[in-house]
Amino acid sequence: MRQRIERIGASTVSTVRELGRFFVFGWSVGNAGRRPPWRLRRLRDEIFDVGILSLIIVCISGLAVGMVLGLQGHNTLVRFGAEESLGAVVGLSLVRELGPVLTSLLVAGRAGSAMAAEIASMVVTEQLDGLRMMSVEPLDFVVAPKMLAMALVMPLLAGLFITFGIFGGYVIGVVVLGGDGGQYLSALEDAVNFGDDVLGGLLKAAIFGVLVGWIASYRGFHATPTSAGVSAAATATVVIASVATLIFDYFITALWGV
């Protein structure tokens, strides 16, 4: 019994310590990143890595999700004679929830894991120590541009996901199942409010971007300097960032109504 309590205590202390390190890390990156020199070239490169290289996967996934929504939505709405609301169902689902959340999960899987693995391999090959020996702060030089790029790119990718999703819903609901195109678009326009829904959804995506970038950088930066440590950092990033996205999604929705 006593051993069990000790184990729970040790595990709690370890979790609290890890959380503390996580927040201190985020604070340090924020401090390092807001001081000049502004690393715009590195930011541009990171935006390319996170954003441009995720474009295809985000667009295809958005299209597929929109098509599924169109199909499921049409089949359900027909039962109630409300198939003219398909545009509203597809649009609201994508803009408020599925767009930001699924984009975050996709980006965590592709760019987040790559980011963690890249930073972790820099730890293994002593590249971060090499920077320190040149009095270049790795948090400023390596981590801050990556985190900022993730936060900037996530809303843009979510916007693309939503656009392709709405198009996918249109293809199924209108072109394949023979619904009215005008009705689809007018229902969409009536239901989706730009300020509350669109901007709210994109803000949510930006928060997920910060979260994924933060977790990926933290796991990479504190990776065990071995090849197993690199893969562990990448795996942990995908798992933790995905779960964190879903948990934060609930709290953002519950507290802000976005």
Partner 1 sequence: MTEGARQPPGDESAEYAPTPVHIDVRDLHFVRSGRSIFEGLSCGFPRGKLSVIAGASGAGKTTLLRMLARLLRPTRGEIWIDWEVDLTAMSEADVRTYRGEVGMLFQRGALLDSMSVYENVALPLRERTTLPEDRIRTEVERAFSAVDLHDVGDLLPGELSGGMVKRAGLARALIQRPKILLCDEPFSGLDPPTVRKVETLLQQVRRSSGATMILTSHHTHSTRRIADHLVMLNGKRALEGTPDALIAADEWVKDFFLEPERSEST
Interface contacts to partner 1, rule CB under 8 A: 45, 122, 125-127, 129-136
Whichever of 11 and 125 has its CB closer to partner 1, that residue is: 125
Smallest separation, CB 45 to partner 1 (Å): 8
Whichever of 1 and 134 has its CB closer to partner 1, that residue is: 134
Smallest separation, CB 118 to partner 1 (Å): 8
Smallest separation, CB 88 to partner 1 (Å): 46
Exposure pattern of 151-166 as b/e (b: 16+ CB <10 Å)?
bbbbbbbbbbbbbbbb
Whichever of 134 and 254 has its CB closer to partner 1, that residue is: 134
Residue 13, C-beta contacts closer than 8 angstroms, at least 6 positions apart? none
Whichever of 6 and 126 has its CB closer to partner 1, that residue is: 126
Smallest separation, CB 94 to partner 1 (Å): 35
CB distance 212 to 245 below 8 Å:
yes
Smallest separation, CB 134 to partner 1 (Å): 4
Residue 145, Cβ density class (10 Å: 0-12 exposed, 13-18 middle, ≥19 buried): buried
CA-closest candidate to residue 144, choices 247, 7, 27, 61:
27
Whichever of 18 and 126 has its CB closer to partner 1, that residue is: 126
Whichever of 21 and 193 has its CB closer to partner 1, that residue is: 21
Whichever of 136 and 247 has its CB closer to partner 1, that residue is: 136
The H-assigned helical ranges of 1-126 are 2-33, 40-50, 55-79, 86-92, 99-107, 113-124
Q: Which amino acid is at 87?
A: G
Smallest separation, CB 125 to partner 1 (Å): 6
Smallest separation, CB 194 to partner 1 (Å): 39
Q: What is the dihedral of CA 149, 153, 93, 257, to 10 degrees?
A: 50
CB distance 174 to 181 below 8 Å:
yes
Q: What are the CA-CA distances from residue 109 to residues 31, 56, 91, 131 (Å)?
A: 27, 14, 25, 28
Residue 12, Cβ density class (10 Å: 0-12 exposed, 13-18 middle, ≥19 buried): exposed
> Positive or negative, the Cα torsion across 163, 189, 247, 251?
positive
